[in-house]
A and B are shown apart, each in its own frame.
Chain A
């Protein structure tokens, strides 16, 4: 399966040139760009690991692309996302978020059902890869 989190997952994987353009868009808006990675892409896993702090002061897309290249070199078998963070009043949250790296194999999720009274079912979603410890989930 293909995880479709993020803003552009239904398009073919973005090229570096396309990623650079999106990063530039964030910078032009004055947003801080952040790189995060995980090997637990559960839909409710909010806190992916940060590749350093959000780059509040970096105003150059090329610098961010270098960071991304380095992150990919270390965590190329994990999901990596780029987000633009807007600290202005009334928003103070993410404005754009998209995947820029995914593992070669994406085994997806198992849905568990626990039957209970009145035909109710308690659902639980488990990543097939997440049964292994962190760092050992998608290849090396």
Chain B
């Protein structure tokens, strides 16, 4: 499939009329990507009867300079430079009718430091292009030259830990439940109990903004009373992610300013506010010494299906550039989608300075982050103390483990739930550091810790059989030896 270039050159290239994309210069199998090129890997599923190479060339064309017909005005530009070049097409292993298309884009196609501009090309019109049955953006290679035009995470994992004075273990959080309906006063009660019981953070849920049952100022005031009470009661720095998501930037800035005035260490936004708003809030967070938590609300509408949309690994890369500090990235063992290998890939994108190509984790490119801050992944949704060994094994140490139901649903109350989680975590870290085989001995380690901690005993009894074992809808498609170009 990777034959030689069939690009029409010279005068004939600009003859009026329609020409196949693969003959217009969007299919260049001899092209070697430059170190400064942005590279996108698409999974292209052409309509019946559409030539795969032509479909992939069309993706390159429609995501860069092309329109449906030849235009003479191309000749007023350095058109060959600006054309995205599909340089490799591989059949997707085990998925007949789909192809991986590698497409290189010249750096000059993109405005520095703008996710909005990057995405307007890469996931713009092209996703609705009729000759394609489906299209998915699987991964991107972002050149260092481009990475360096972004601020990156406002705080980063290291400085977050320094500010919180918490080292050597995952951070613990909980989302206040019920997510809707509590008054500010009752809401703050949940925050106080959870933080005093041993959690580091509480969290607003994605859809807690400013509703009739609780307006935002009321929530912020009661939550900060809870945070400060818990700090004094424990001697530890505590926080609660105050969600500043709102209808307009002006509203968000107002809420963020109020959170800062009250002394909060962290604020929160939702992915649905959009890339530009996220970048604005990241800059605000950097200016105001604030940790910025991102809830990935809405991502599953386009990340979950294997054939169409955008992989979450790409969203994670964009968010690291955009500059958030926390990002929900899956739990593996919890209630939400997350194949272990794929999730591992997301976590690496958040935390490593260099991601080596790891096809089994869905990471298709070497990616240098050029010392951009690390993003703290957040594991949330259907996890509990009894899984602590598995969580530590899958997710590592630099992660926020959020036990919402697993804290608030404890039979003896929220403080007991928080204590159970904290004791389980500390016991597991202690055992791991001592060199024990904590993954296999996990249940024993927890049972031993429960001997001196009744809340943990009760938590283990209540949730011992809870697990979510469903087939994943999005796992990497790869064969261990890289598929030969055909």
* A residues whose Cβ falls under 8 Å from a Cβ of B: 1, 3-5, 7-12, 14, 18, 21-22, 25, 41-44, 46, 83-84, 89-98, 108-111, 119-121, 123, 125
Contact = CB atoms under 8 A, between A and B. Distances in A.
Given A93-B162, A96-B167, A98-B168, A10 B235 contact: no
B221 A120 contact: yes
B394 to A, nearest CB: 20
Contact of A123 (B161, B224, B371, B449): B224
Contacts of B228: 111, 123, 125
B54 interface: no
Contacts of A7: 167-169, 426, 429
A84 B169 CA distance: 13
Given A10-B422, A11-B427, A120-B261, A43 B231 contact: yes
A123 B263 contact: yes
A8 B237 CA distance: 15
A5 B232 contact: no
Give the 9 A-B residue pairs with the shortest CB-CB distance, closest first. A96-B168, A3-B235, A111-B232, A25-B433, A123-B228, A109-B232, A7-B168, A97-B167, A21-B434
Q: Which of B161, B198, B232, B371 has the most CB atoms of chain A within a 10 A radius of its CB?
A: B232
A95 B233 CA distance: 25
B301 interface: no
Given A11-B426, A95-B167, A43 B161 contact: no
Interface string B346-375: 000000010000000000000000010010
Interface in B412-438: 419, 422-423, 426-427, 429-430, 433-435
20 contacts: A3-B235, A4-B234, A4-B236, A5-B165, A10-B426, A11-B426, A22-B433, A43-B235, A44-B237, A84-B168, A94-B167, A94-B168, A95-B167, A95-B168, A96-B167, A98-B168, A109-B231, A119-B221, A120-B262, A121-B224
B225 interface: yes
B229 interface: yes
A110 B161 CA distance: 25
A125 B433 contact: no
B229 A111 contact: yes
Nearest to A122: B263
Interface in B183-199: 198
Contact of B162 (A12, A14, A94): A94
A1 B233 contact: yes
A21 B235 contact: no
Contacts of A4: 198, 234-236
Contacts of B168: 7, 84, 94-98
Nearest to A8: B426
B169 to A, nearest CB: 5
A10 B419 contact: yes
Contacts of A43: 165, 231, 235-237
A109 B234 CA distance: 8
Contact of B430 (A3, A22, A125): A22
Nearest to B156: A90
B116 interface: no
A23 B228 CA distance: 33
Nearest to B233: A1
B158 interface: yes
Contacts of A96: 167-168, 433
B248 interface: no
A5 B236 contact: yes
Contact of A108 (B229, B233, B371, B374): B233
Contacts of B95: none
Given A22-B430, A93-B158, A5 B423 contact: no
A84 B161 CA distance: 14
B189 to A, nearest CB: 17
A14 to B, nearest CB: 8
A8 B224 contact: no
Contacts of A5: 165, 235-236
A44 B353 CA distance: 29
Contacts of A10: 198, 419, 422-423, 426, 453
A63 B287 CA distance: 44
B158 A92 contact: yes
B73 interface: no
Contacts of A89: 353
A91 to B, nearest CB: 6
Interface in B258-288: 261-263
Contacts of B481: none
B452 interface: yes
A21 B374 CA distance: 29
Nearest to A7: B168
A8 B430 contact: yes
Contacts of B371: 90
Nearest to A4: B234
